[in-house]
Amino acid sequence: MKPDMMPDQTQFITESPLYAEAEVADVSEKFLSEQELKQRQQKKIKRIVIGMAIFLFVAVSIFILIKSRSRIEKEEDSKAEEIELDEVIVGPFNQRLLELEKELELADPNQEELPFPPIDFEISLEE
């Protein structure tokens, strides 16, 4: 049996103090000198300034990233529009091809908003 374990556990609380080795590390501000108080305040201010600098850096980098992506998308859209205009100008064959593509998109059954046809539940296999 270990020396710190007791056979009678009812005596454990009374014989050994709970958290006896705990020390109070934080000293009240009443007992600190003016120089120590200034040092603590300077440390707090430095932490706040560093935190704000990191936050601003992250916010600016996210803003720049979003702006650059939107510019890239705008450039891609303008390039796509230029390509469509070039295809229309090329000739009647391409123009007819574009018309057929639009008709195909309009005839897509996945985009239909009509309800399903009614179902007759009275039909059976016996008839």
Cβ neighbour number for residue 94 with a 10 Å cutoff: 13
Burial classification of residue 19, based on how many CB atoms lie within 10 Å of its CB (0-12 exposed, 13-18 middle, 19 or more buried): exposed
Token pair in block for residue 95: 């123009």
What's the rounded Cα separation, in Å, for the pair 30 and 18? 28
pLDDT per residue rounded down to tens, the chain (127 residues): 565 665 666 665 555 555 555 555 555 666 778 888 888 889 999 999 999 999 999 999 999 999 888 888 877 777 766 665 554 466 788 788 888 988 888 888 777 777 777 887 787 777 5
Backbone angles phi, psi at 3, to 5 degrees: -70, -25
